[in-house]
Amino acid sequence: MTQPTSSSSAAARRGPFWRRLGGTLAGVLGLGLAAAPLPPAQAQAAVPQHWISYAQLASGQFQSWLSDPENAAVVRLHERLQQRMLDEQRNTPPEPVVVRVWVAPTGQVERVEFDTLGDAQSDADLRGVLSAQPLSEPPPRDMRQPMVLRLKLDFAV
């Protein structure tokens, strides 16, 4: 277990995860909400339902945007990921990407962080797709950010 640091920016980047949500919440991994990981029963009680609902909404919209065959950045992103799978001789789709997302009161994605996908163009494409348009709803006023979401990038073009 990592010891907390005094740097709030380091804590925000790393952000603790509460428990992994069930299959009905596909795409949502958790929310960076607390200073230290909580046991699952306490974590579930600590996260308001309206935060979870908003994370589900955001995750669903992001997944939809990442599956748009009409978006050149999406097509390019998936082609690069598929090529990397072929180069590495892997038969399984890539692991979901954990993204940390900050959303403005307008619903516009202000900031997106994630571990590199392996090349600058793929990173720029993912960041661009997720921040190109506002989410359909603004985040709850009391919602802590960033949201931490798990997104699948296994769309076949």
At residue 7 the predicted structure's pLDDT band, cuts being 50, 70 and 90, is very low
Residue 137: per-residue pLDDT: 96
Q: What is the pLDDT of residue 41?
A: 53
> What average pLDDT does this structure show over 36-55?
70
Q: Angle between the 72-87 and 120-131 helix axes, to the nearest 10 degrees?
A: 140
Output the CA angle 56-95-154, nearest 5 degrees: 75
Residue 129 CB burial class (10 angstroms; 0-12, 13-18, ≥19) = buried
Tell me what percent of the residues of the chain surpass a pLDDT of 70: 68
pLDDT bracket for residue 26 (50, 70, 90): very low
Mean pLDDT over 83-110 rounds to 87
Amino acid 157: pLDDT: 42
Q: Which residue has the higher pLDDT, 69 or 91?
A: 69
